[in-house]
Amino acid sequence: MAKVIAGSILLLTASILFIGNYLIGAIIANGQGISSTETLAWILTGSMQEYIPYPHYLSIVTFIAGVALLVWGLVEDTMLKTKAKPPA
């Protein structure tokens, strides 16, 4: 059960990292008074690397680790439940 919870927390972390990158970029673009898509693209690719290095890579790694832990925990729980059942 602990692996399932840890996997869920990692999936939540991955979504926060992914969404947070765009949210921070939008806040920075709005703070500069410019709301064009080219400026937002420049902020996301250029200046955001100073604040959070490789945000997409971090979110992908945490997503994969979260899914792996979630599946591992679910398989382990299923194996324990089928092992505990008496034969029919």
Both tokens of 33, joined, read: 């008074």
Q: Which residue has the higher pLDDT, 82 or 51?
A: 82
* Its pTM surpasses 0.85: no
Class of residue 37 by CB neighbours under 10 A (exposed 0-12, middle 13-18, buried 19+): exposed
| Coil, strand or helix at 53 | coil
The per-residue pLDDT for 13 is 92
Q: In degrees rounded to 5, what are phi and psi of residue 40?
A: -65, -40
Question: pLDDT (tens digit, 9 = 90+) per residue, 76-88?
Answer: 988 888 887 766 5
